[in-house]
Amino acid sequence: MAQLTIVANIIAKPDKVELVKTQLLKLIAVTRAEEGCINYDLHQDNQNPAHFVFYENWTSTEHLQAHLASSHIAEYIAATEGSVDQFTLNEMTQVA
């Protein structure tokens, strides 16, 4: 299987932007150290600071599933409960 690309969009509530950003930043080092993680890059929209995007690449769906089931993701979810307006996760495959 080709590598798996993930585009995760997180839109924080306007009054929770810094809280969500702080919690997202905590995920980077620990996730980059995970088996199967090729890259895990966080972006913040220049026009809408409440909009964050993770651009990720994984060697397999199994590695992504292990990441999503990890304790640091559970900790992020608990810490940001009620602070995120919208979350979408797109699993993609490069075609060209």
**Predicted pLDDT of residue 77:** 97
Percent of the chain with pLDDT over 70: 99
pTM, two decimals, is 0.94
Question: Using CA atoms, how far apart are residues 39 and 33, in angstroms rounded to an integer?
Answer: 10
CA-closest candidate to residue 8, choices 82, 76, 62, 95: 76
Tell whether domain 4-93 is in CATH 3.40.50.150.
no
Q: Is the pLDDT of residue 2 over 80?
A: no
Q: Is 35 exposed, middle or buried (0-12, 13-18, 19+ CB in 10 A)?
A: exposed
With H, G, I as helix, E, B as strand and everything else as coil, classify residue 59. coil
**Predicted pLDDT of residue 64:** 95
**32-71 per-position pLDDT tens digit:** 999 999 999 999 999 999 999 999 999 999 999 999 999 9
1 band by pLDDT with thresholds 50, 70 and 90: low
Question: Using CA atoms, how far apart are residues 85 and 37, in angstroms rounded to an integer?
Answer: 27
